[in-house]
Amino acid sequence: MTAFLLILFMIAAAALSWWLLGFLSAWLEHRQIVDTPNERTVHQGSVPRGGGLVIVALLAVVLMGVAIASERYWVFGGFTLLLLAWSGLSWWDDNRGLSPRFRLVFQVLIAIATLIAFGYVNSIQLGTNNSLYLAEFGIVVTFIGLMWMTNLYNFMDGMDGLAASQAIIAGLTLGFWFWQVGDLQLAFVSMLLAAIVYGFLLRNWHPAQIFLGDVGSIGLGAFFATLFIFANTRYQLPIISFVLLFGVFVFDTSVTILHRMLKREKFWLPHSSHHYQRLSKLGVNHAQIVVLNAILMLCCAMLASWSLIERDRIAVLIVIEFGLMFGYAVAVYILENNSKNKQI
């Protein structure tokens, strides 16, 4: 496929996503499937929830189309079924409000099905000839990582444009990675995912006309996590590279949950302790926060891509990215202290 044809497909996918979301938004509002402000969100007023339905539906069509064109039915059929399973459960939760225990049981079953279909990470590469071999313990590590990544995206979906902008950068970066290893079909899927989410971003930019909902955030998180597993087991791409790619979400969520655990808070309940939420409380506007996080992720994407090219530098790149994210956290803390001092 030529670059020109790929661009045409991406433009068409973004336009179709934007157009369908207009109809979906009206339908969701009519059915009163809306989000009202709570402890996690920083929006005002009621906004339709469930924009992820369009993203999941279009991505499923793309996956099945590629399956037919490439005859890789097992790979792309597996991606499709797992995507629909994660998203279907989340849509059910969006509308029915499933109990945490019931939801967890089904998520565990889908995660197990993912490991059966695509295998598990059996080593963590720290350099060209330096790896930490996990053997069968890799099953546990992969399972935890899959569950963590899937729900991490949901944890961070609380501001207009934030989750969508991160997904666009991830899709474009993964498209480049899969192109580099010669999997043009997955590169195509990743690029089209970025385009589909861009169509959503146009309606999710502040003030948002529609939200992802769990069907979108869980669906995206699970799909990215499944791509990670496949890329590692099939092409031996370092799992650390994927962690580096999503450094913004991984660092923010991990630090926030650890901090809440140390304070003996119920970290699984809605809260407003993430860095983007704290910046919003300080009066920083949505656009500035989202752009800042997008810039940080672009830096993470470059470091992650560098780790694929220079695998001997993985440890150094981990330190660099941690320093970058730690600096971001310290800056937020300083701004909060300055704000408190001014109030005194």
pLDDT at 342 over 80: no
pLDDT at 3 over 80: yes
Beta strands in 96-171 (DSSP E): 123-127, 130-133
Torsion-angle region of residue 117: left (phi > 0), alpha (psi -120 to 50) or beta?
Answer: alpha
* pLDDT category of residue 44 using cuts at 50, 70 and 90: low
Average pLDDT value for residue range 297-306: 97
Distance CA 189, CA 173 (A): 12
pLDDT at 206: 87
pLDDT at 125 over 90: no
Contacts of 296 (CB under 8 A, 6+ apart): 247, 248, 324, 325, 328
pLDDT at 37: 59
Q: What is the pLDDT of residues 180-230, one digit of tens each?
A: 999 999 999 999 999 999 999 999 998 899 999 999 999 999 999 999 999
pLDDT at 2: 83
Q: What is the pLDDT of residues 69-79, one digit of tens each?
A: 999 999 999 99
Under 8 Å between Cβ of 33 and 95: yes
* pLDDT category of residue 38 using cuts at 50, 70 and 90: low
Average pLDDT value for residue range 93-110: 87
pLDDT at 258 over 90: no
pLDDT at 158: 82
Q: Element (H or E) spanning 34, and its range?
A: strand 34-35
| Single pTM value for the model | 0.93
Distance, C-alpha 104 to centroid of its chain: 19
Helices 3-30, 184-204: axis angle to 10 degrees equals: 40
The three-class DSSP label of residue 131 is strand
pLDDT at 233 over 90: yes
Distance CA 264, CA 180 (A): 45
Distance CA 276, CA 325 (A): 13
Strands 123-127 and 47-48: unpaired
Average pLDDT in the chain: 90
Residue % of the chain over a pLDDT of 90? 68
Under 8 Å between Cβ of 287 and 211: no
Q: How many residues does the chain have?
A: 344
Under 8 Å between Cβ of 175 and 224: no
Sign of CA dihedral 180, 182, 183, 185: positive
- Alpha-carbon Rg for the chain, nearest whole angstrom, is 20
Q: Element (H or E) spanning 47, and its range?
A: strand 47-48
pLDDT at 240: 94
Under 8 Å between Cβ of 212 and 157: yes
- Minimal CA–CA distance to 157: which of 299, 267, 40? 40
Contacts of 301 (CB under 8 A, 6+ apart): 169, 170, 173, 245
Average pLDDT value for residue range 144-152: 92
3-state helix, strand, coil in the chain (%, to 5): 75, 5, 20
